[in-house]
Structure 1
Amino acid sequence: MRFPILATLALIAAAGTAEARNTRLEISFADTLQRGADEGVLDGSVRFFLAGQGHPAVQQALGNGASSRKTNAVGKSDENACQWAALSVLKAFQEQAKQKGANAVVNVVSNYNRVEFRGDGVIECRAGGLMAGVALKGEYATIER
């Protein structure tokens, strides 16, 4: 009778330790966008530009947006899990942009725990043993095609 109880407690402790990991990663924004296009997650109707990245002139600003998503990281590399989380955020941005009549999200920055991070071609992700998460914010806009 003692063994099942001890085994259960050991599993709970191990799970808590695994999720306690909060590794900060910087992942390539361009690679993430390419994966989204290759896998059909992003349909190309909305373009994405990091803050500081050149883009066509904004014809109309349509408001700000922010989103954060987490994904299951079990059995995935940190980078793979982080890309999935980022693509979930970008897909949400894509849908919101379409509703607003925007064809771009510009000035995209990481915003994990409401702390802005502007990387050179990268976005921030946090990976744990069970979950990986990405938070981004940006501005919806119509830009020249």
Structure 2
Amino acid sequence: MNKTATVALISTIVPVIVSAVSPASARDARLMFPVEAALNTAAAQEKLDKGVKLYFGNQKHPNSVAVLGEWTTNKKTNAFNKSDQEACEWVFLSAVLELQERARKQGGNAVINIKSNYKNTETNSNTEYMCGAGNIMAGVALKGTVVKLGAK
């Protein structure tokens, strides 16, 4: 193949490749998934700290005897070759574990008023969380208040 034919072939192929890749890498679907399903996965059952209770949205909880601060998480995970729900449940677990770790460090035994805070947009739900799903990455950001709960 001569030099002119090679340049013509490259100038034809490169735009096709770029146009195919650009929309795929820009995917940022904002999806809602059930909290209960994510908390009931095998990984969650194995890793969650039963001593640090989690209350999403406006769920009722025992009275707080101490409010120890509001904390945020912003977690990402590799979504390659995973369904959106699988990637989102995994990264949601990571975000929840970070909130539980913060509660332990602060001397709390619960995180209340947990809400999604994806790209600084709050979504308050008792039953669902928001996940940003792309072709390569998935992300979950949560915000919650660490407290010490009194007796029921």
Same fold (TM > 0.5): yes
Separation of aligned partners in 2, 1:5 and 1:90: 48
**Aligned residue among 88, 94, 101 for 2:94:** 88
What TM-score results when the alignment is normalised by the length of structure 1? 0.86
Question: Which amino acid counterpart does residue 20 of structure 1 have in structure 2?
Answer: A
Matched, 1:73 2:75: no
Matched, 1:111 2:117: yes
Contact 2:57/2:126 (<8 A) preserved: no
Separation of aligned partners in 2, 1:117 and 1:55: 19
Deviation at 1:13, TM superposition (A): 5.3
Matched, 1:137 2:143: yes
Which one is further off, 77-86 or 116-125?
116-125
Matched, 1:43 2:56: no
Matched, 1:26 2:44: no
Contact 1:37/1:44 (<8 A) preserved: no
Which one is further off, 99-108 or 11-20?
11-20
**Aligned residue among 131, 134, 152 for 1:128:** 134
What TM-score results when the alignment is normalised by the length of structure 2? 0.82
- 4+ aligned runs moved over 4 Å, structure 1: 1-15
Specify the SS of the correspondent of 1:44.
coil
Specify the SS of the correspondent of 1:87.
helix
Deviation at 1:20, TM superposition (A): 0.9
Distance 1:117 1:74, change over 3 A: same
List runs of 5+ in structure 1 lacking aligned partners: none
Separation of aligned partners in 1, 2:31 and 2:139: 10
Deviation at 1:31, TM superposition (A): 1.8
Deviation at 1:59, TM superposition (A): 1.6
Contact 1:27/1:79 (<8 A) preserved: yes
- Number of residue pairs aligned between Structure 1 and Structure 2: 144
Distance 1:28 1:79, change over 3 A: same
